[in-house]
Amino acid sequence: MRVAIFGKQNPRYFREWMKTELEKNGFEAELQDMETRTFLDYADRFLDWDALITCGEKLPTEAMRTLGKGRVKIISRWGVGTDEMDKKEASAQGIAVCNAPGSLSVAVAECAIGLMINLLREFPARDASVRKNDWSWFFEGRLSHQLEGKTVGLYGFGDISKALAKMLYGFDCHVIATDVRFDEETARKYDVTRVDPETLIRESDVLSLHVPAIPGVTTDMVDMAFLSRMKPTAILINTARGSLIVEEDLYKALTTGVIAAAGLDVFRKEPPEPDNPLLTLPNVMLLPHAGAGSHECLVKSSAMAVDNIVSFFKGQPKHLLNPDALKGG
């Protein structure tokens, strides 16, 4: 059985570890350092492989159809999000798709709370002023805000949001959340109040996005109409997917006082173009899709990515996202 390991943006020693673990289990594994993350550019080169470990490579309909001409039976997502894959087409081609649920939750939740604190306390601006020998923040009594006691809205209440709710509980925040599938037990444990989307948008001091990018449903949902319903003092946090936000509208909202600030770990285009106007704003904190970029996170996700493949070929599939792929097989 041959396994191709992608995700060259992650440290090589993790990919080498996965290769070694797969070989211990009788697989032939090779690291793939591709020039792009668009799988269709090279899909026909992997028709003779049995399994793929991917990490954000885009596998749309045509890529799945190309793979369906070969012998690929499973794609193991090194991480959680799979909106870059056409899972319906994968099922049609008899290709199982699985991921590593929960492996990123704490890391991304820490990223979100870090953005909240940095923006509320204006730490990036204060850091920059000290480097310029400017102590006006101190001598002029320029104040910022605490996270404690704020109303924090979680738009989506999945694994990351629940990890974040646990952290916010210690800050004595008023946490509100909205989701189609709502975990009442976790909400009670961490004193999270379920609200409708409109209430969450209207009442949040900090609004954190935690939904997948679903075309026609959540993509482009944060437009000017959405932003205009937020408090003018509110902060928007996005550690989910860049396509949730209409960036032109966010720029306008941030420069006209519609909202106060934003913390972004994701962009519509990654890396963003150098002339992206959001890069020029002092009331935006920007990160390079680093939410899941912790050593501890990759330890978990690497082990799960390997285990998914080993278990699958033992006839005991785990974390399967498209069970229809196994019908008739």
CATH of the domain at 166: 3.40.50.720
User: Distance between CA 296 and CA 106 in Å, rounded?
Assistant: 9
Q: What is the pLDDT of residue 328?
A: 58
- Is the pLDDT reported for residue 174 higher than 70? yes
Same domain, yes or no: 74 and 222: no
- Check whether residue 125 and residue 251 sit in a common domain: yes
Q: Is 60 exceeded by the pLDDT of residue 241?
A: yes
Report the pLDDT value the prediction gives residue 203, as an integer from 0 to 100.
98
317 lies in the same domain as 278: no
What is the pLDDT, as a whole number, of residue 232?
98
- pLDDT of residue 66 exceeding 70: yes
Show the CA angle centred on residue 288, arms to residues 220 and 106, nearest 5°: 85
Domain count, the chain: 2
CA 295 to CA 311: how far, in whole Å? 24
56 pLDDT higher than 90: no
Mean pLDDT of 14-31: 98
Domain co-membership, 96 together with 139 = no
pLDDT of residue 327: 83
**252 is in which domain, residue-wise?**
105-286
Q: Tell me, yes or no, whether 83 and 196 share the same domain.
A: no
* Whether pLDDT at 329 is above 60: no
3-state secondary structure the chain: CEEEECCCCCCHHHHHHHHHHHHHCCCEEEECCCCCCEHHHCHHHHCCCCEEEECCCEECHHHHHHHCCCCCCEEEECCCCCCCECHHHHHHCCCEEECCCCCCHHHHHHHHHHHHHHHHHCHHHHHHHHHCCCCHHHHCCCCCCCCCCCEEEEECCCHHHHHHHHHHHCCCCEEEEECCCCCHHHHHHCCEEECCHHHHHHHCCEEEECCCCCCCCCCCCECHHHHHCCCCCCEEEECCCHHHECHHHHHHHHHCCCCCEEEECCCCCCCCCCCCHHHHCCCEEECCCCCCCCHHHHHHHHHHHHHHHHHHHCCCCCCECCHHHHCCC
One domain for residues 89 and 116? no
Same domain, 81 and 195: no
pLDDT of residue 169 exceeding 70: yes
Residues 166 and 260 grouped into a single domain: yes
Residues with active-site annotation = 241, 270, 289
**Highest mean pLDDT: which of 134-138, 190-194, 324-328?**
190-194
Q: Are 126 and 266 in the same domain? A: yes
Whether residue 69 sits in one domain with residue 14: yes
The answer, yes or no, to whether residue 156 has pLDDT greater than 90, is yes
261 and 118, same domain (yes or no)? yes
Query: Average model confidence (pLDDT) for the chain?
Result: 96
Residues 109 and 251 in one domain: yes
The answer, yes or no, to whether residue 47 has pLDDT greater than 80, is yes
Residue 322 has pLDDT above 60, yes or no: yes
pLDDT at 89 over 90: yes
Average the pLDDT over each of 32-36, 46-50, 105-109, 130-134 and give the range with the smallest value: 32-36
Confidence of residue 298 (pLDDT cuts 50, 70, 90): very high
| pLDDT-above-70 percentage for the chain | 99
